[in-house]
Every structure is written in C-alpha cells, then in structure tokens.
Amino acid sequence: MVDLHAHTDRSDGALSPRQLVDLAVHNGLSALAITDHDTLDGYEAAAAHAKQVGLDLVCGVELSACFLGRSIHVLGYFLGAAPGATFRGHLDCIQQSRRERNRRLAAKLQSLGLEVTAEEAEALGHGQTGRPHFARVLVQKGYVPSVREAFNTYLDERAPGFVARRDASAENVLRWIAEAGGLSSWAHPGRFLRDSGYGSVASVKELAAKGLKAVEVFHADHDAGERQSLRAAADKAGLAVTGGSDFHNPDTARVPLGGLKLPDSLLEHLRDRHALPIDG
C-alpha cells in the first residue's frame, strides 16, 4: 500500500519525520510521500531513517495557489531527485509570505478580543507556523475546548478570524514544480468544487492547460461519487491520478495513515508517467 499525502511537524503535522516513517511501516505501507506545506525539511529529515527501515520515501511538497480567484492546494512530487536551489528559493519567498500572514492573523484575532500573538504561535512550530499553531494557543488559553473548535469558531475560511494568504498564481506554482523536475497534482479538489460550484471537468481541463499533471482523486474528503467524477475528469484531460490520507495527527485524523489502502500501482503509474518524454 502507498500513501502519497502526509504531513510532519515540520509544517502542520503532529509527528516528527522519524515518527511518521515508523507509523507508515507499522501500518504496512511500502511507500510514503511527505508533502509538508511550503517546506522540504520533513522529507529531508526522514530520508535516511526511511532508507534504513526499507520504506520507499517520496519527496513531496504542498503549495497554495490562486485559481479563479480562490485558493487551491497543489502537490509537487519529485520522483527523480529532490528539487534544486531555484525551487528552494521559491519556498523561501513563500515562507516569508507565511510569516507576514501570521502577523496579520494575530492582529485579526486580537481585534476579536483574543490575546494571541504571532510569537506564541511560532513557539509551537518547528520552523514553520500556521493556523494549527494559533489553534493550539487558543486552546491553551482557554478560549476554545479543542483545536477543531478553534477552527470552527475563529480560523476556518468562513470564520471571523480567517486571514487569507497572498498566494502565487496557479500558473506560477505549476511552472515552478515542472521546472524543478516535479509532477504536479491538484490536492483535494472536492473542497474547491463544492465551495465554488464549478464543474470538475471544466476546472481540471483549465488547470491542465496551465500545466497540471495529475488529480488527487483519492482523499478522505471525497465520497464515492466525487471520486468517480474526478477520475472521469482526469481521464478526459489525460492526467494521472494520485491519492493519500492527508494525514496530520493520529488523534484527529479522519482516516489513519494509509487508511485509504491505495495499491502500489498508483505510485508505479505516476513514475511511469513522469518518465515519459514531454511529447509522449
């Protein structure tokens, strides 16, 4: 089995890179992609241990992008070699934008009467801070009983404390991944499609024209009908299919790491697609 979407504590996950690898092995996975938000640190910290325990570890990353005026997430898989300095420079710029957003988020929460600072949230991160760390501060200070309630009440996109990121365009994000030798996949597209009302075929086709190479059909958010329509849209656009648990935390996960029970062939097909010549 494989799981091509998982996070460590180097972004917004709960487990260290080593702990995530050990859990993958314990759960019977043959391959795992670490796809932390905006950083390769988790993959790099896990690579040696994964090799030692015999786990096929895929280098990945998850980036936010602006598409049709809304935010989407794009997974980048580097199936040949980890990306070089140019791509890492893009990640550095994204990290700076993230820090600026954290300052705006803290100010927004303070305007709602919540005594929360960016520094308090950053103290909980491992080199990267995001909304989950602000949620933990809200829990620690007694404003909400749980991280989920923190999101529901203050931090989700429809909540009063939400502050949007200033994302790069989908064209740029897809180009960065391609230029770094990677394969791009639209992460959990069902969320965008449900919220926007756009159709799956038209949306996938438009992103494919911008350089998208795959669609994350298999995700805990997608029911059977959504998987079927997304698979059809990917096939119609000539794109590959990816999937994963989007695992963050063993205590709050909707499905466990590897819980979608995706076959090894999913990764094999991706590698075959990645190996094709550009006009193949």
List the domain boundaries for the chain.
Answer: 2-92+166-275, 97-155
* 2-92+166-275: in CATH 3.30.70.100: no
Cα 56 to Cα 54: distance, rounded to the nearest angstrom: 7
Tokens 């089995």 sit on residue: 1
Is 0.75 topped by the overall pTM?
yes
Per-residue pLDDT band for 279 (boundaries 50, 70, 90) equals very low
Q: What is the mean pLDDT of the chain?
A: 94
**Three-state DSSP class for 188?**
coil
Kindly give the interhelix angle for 200-210 and 170-179, rounded to the nearest 10 degrees: 50
Nearest CA-CA partner of 38 in 128, 102, 135, 164: 128
Per-residue model confidence as pLDDT tens digits over 191-210: 999 999 999 999 999 999 99
Per-residue model confidence (pLDDT) at position 124? 86
Q: Which CATH architecture fits 97-155? A: Orthogonal Bundle (1.10)
Residue 255 reports pLDDT greater than 90: yes
Report the half-sphere exposure of 165 (CA within 13 A, side-chain side): 23
Q: How far apart are CA 52 and CA 116, in angstroms?
A: 42
